[in-house]
Each structure stands twice: as C-alpha cells, then as structure tokens.
Structure 1
C-alpha cells in the first residue's frame, strides 16, 4: 500500500481485524512522514491548544470577552510546523487531492468519541470552489467517512487567509450565512471543522452564525494549531 502523504509504497504488519476483513485495511502514513509531524502536547492553552500555555492564552481571553455566551472548545491534532506547512501547501494550493486521506485515522478517531455530533466543514466561496476544484476541509472529512451538513454558506469571496497577516485576518468581516439546515441544530452538538486554526477568526465567525439556532454545544476542530 502507499503512504497517504508521500505516496511511496510501504510495507507494514496488518492488524488481525484487517486480516479478517481485508476491505477495512486502513491506508496510513509511513514512518518517515510520521516523524515529520509534531503532536499537540502539554503544556498548552486549555481552550485552543496553543503550545506553551498553562491556562487560557491571551488570545482566548479576548475571544471570551467578545463571545461571553459561547463556551468554546477547540481541538487540534498537530502543531503547525514546517512539514505541515509543506503538506497543506501541496494539498490546498497545488491541489494534490490524494492527500485528503493523510489524516483520516485521527479524524475518524475523534468522531468516534463524538458520534452524535452534526459536522459542518467551513465552506468555500463559489470562486474558490471553482479555482481549487474541491473544498479541502470537506474532502478531508469525506475521506474519513464522516458525513457533513451544509449549515453555512460563504456569502462573499475573500482572499485566502494564507495571503493575510495576523491583523488582516482579525479584521476580516463576517463572511458566513446560515443555510436552512441550520434550523435543525437546536439542542444538538455541532462540530465545525477547518484545516488550520491560526487566529481563530474564521471558526469564531462560523460559530457566531450558528449560535443563534441554540445548539447544545459547538466544538471546533482542525488538523493543526
């Protein structure tokens, strides 16, 4: 089988479950690619998983002041390092669609812990959808067999976040609108998924849009922080 990152052939021992049910064989990252990643680890911010914090970081304290009614919880699998930067550039900006399977194991494991969640991927504008050919966040979830619901739509086209500095990201105006499906989330747990958490601005705007429909809980999830 091929590594889901470098696409090189790899040899590994199958689990008993994979031997008995060969159609359930999971594609994985090779050892060399795995070593490139840095897992999120303690100490980290208790709210957004920013590294090197023992309590809510300064950024999260500001978000708490801005959204006092929103009890937010963010989870990220990895630290945003040089290797992850290279991966996301290849996947999102060069359009290497094969890479959508790279983190399926982690995504699948997370949602096994939250089986009743309604999952929403951050949407793209129609312009970005046409240019890239796919929604990178939605494709990651689909590769992990996680069904998604279009609770949000992007009401305006904005430059890619990677092209903005921190202040420009934070100054971004609300780009989302709720769809009619959002009326079904009252009293339910919602998970909003994006590929990367940088300033949190995108995810907080998404949560702000959905909060008016009174979900039980809104969690946010990203591959890296």
Structure 2
C-alpha cells in the first residue's frame, strides 16, 4: 500500500476484516506524514475551532453581528501549518490529483455522524474549473465516497483566495447563487464543505444563500483552520 500523501510504499499488518474482505483495505498516511499534521487541541474557539483563543473569537463575534440569526458551527480536523500549506499547494495549485484521498478517514468518520445531511461543496467559477481541471473540494469528498448535491453555483470569477490578504478576502462580494436543487434542503441538515477555513467569508456567503431555503440547520466543514 502507498501513503496517500507522499506516495511511498508502506507495510503494515492487515486487520481481520481486511483479510476477509480485501475491498475494505484502505490507504492510510505513513507515520512520517502523520507526524507533520497538527490536530486542533484546546484551547480553541468553540464556534470555528480557531486555535489558542477564547470562545467566541474576534472573527466569530464579527460574524455573529453580521448574521445574528445564523446558528453557526464549524468543524475542521487540523491546524493550518507549514506541512498543510505544502500539501494544499501540491494538490490545489500544482494539480497533484493523487492527493485527493489524503484525508479520507477523517472525512468518512465525520459524515458517519451525519448520515441524513445534504452535502454540498463550495463551487468554482467555470473559468477556475478550466484552469485547475477539477474542483478540489468535490474531489476530496468523491474520494471518500461522500455523495454531494450541487446546491450552489458561482456567478463571478474572482482571484484565488490564496492571493488575497485578510481585508481583501473580507471585502469580497457575494459570489454565489442557488441552483434549482436548493429547494430540496427545506427542513434538512446541510453541510457545506471547503478545503480551508481562513476568514470564513466564503462559507458565510454560501450559508447566506442557502438560508433562504429554510434548512433545519447549516453546518460547515473544512480540512484545516
């Protein structure tokens, strides 16, 4: 088996389940790659999991002021550190599509706890999709075999968020609109997935559009914060 991050061959003992049902054998990160990741540990903001701050953090207080009726709750798995930056650069900007399965275990474990949720990803503009060749968030969920519904579409092409500073990100205008499938979410739990949470601007705009269709609740998810 290969590590889904560094692609190096690794040897490990199979579980009884994997021996009896070979199709259940899964690729897991090697110890070297695992050691690079930094999980979110207390103290952290209980609303967005920002590490090392009181709850709610300054960002969340700002969002509570702007969206007082939105019952916001974000979940992520890792702190955005140098190793994660290198991973996202290889995957997202160099187009190493093999990396889409790096965090499959975490993704499946999370959605196992939300079996009835409608899941959507943050869409790309058609221009960005052509440049990149794939939607990085949709590919991550596809690798984990998580069904998604295209509830949103991006109505304008914008510069990549990675090229913007904090103020430029927050100043971004609403880039999304709902698709015809959004009517399905009334009374349902909705989970919106994006690869990274930085300021929250993108995910709050996504939730703003979807709230008009009266879902039971909206939750957001990212790999890193």
TM-score of the pair, normalised by structure 1 = 0.99
Please name the residue that 1:162 is paired with: 162
Partner Cα distance (2:102, 2:166) in 1: 27
SS of the equivalent of 2:169 reads helix
For the pair 1:217 / 2:217, whether they are aligned, the reply is: yes
> 1:119-171: per-residue Cα shift (whole Å, max 9, x none)?
00100000010011100000000000000000000000000000000000000
Aligned-residue offset at 1:54 = 3.0
Please name the residue that 2:95 is paired with: 95
Runs (5+) with no aligned partner, structure 2: none
- 1:1-225 residue pairs with structure 2 within 5 A? 1-225=1-225
Aligned-residue offset at 1:200 = 0.1
Partner Cα distance (2:165, 2:146) in 1: 32
Partner Cα distance (2:16, 2:71) in 1: 41
> 1:51-88: per-residue Cα shift (whole Å, max 9, x none)?
01231101100100100110010001000000000000
Partner Cα distance (1:210, 1:119) in 2: 12
TM-score of the pair, normalised by structure 2 = 0.99
Runs of 4+ off more than 2 Å? none
Question: Aligned Cα RMSD in Å?
Answer: 0.5
Partner Cα distance (2:65, 2:72) in 1: 12
Runs (5+) with no aligned partner, structure 1: none
Partner Cα distance (2:84, 2:17) in 1: 30
Partner Cα distance (1:223, 1:215) in 2: 23
Partner Cα distance (1:31, 1:92) in 2: 23
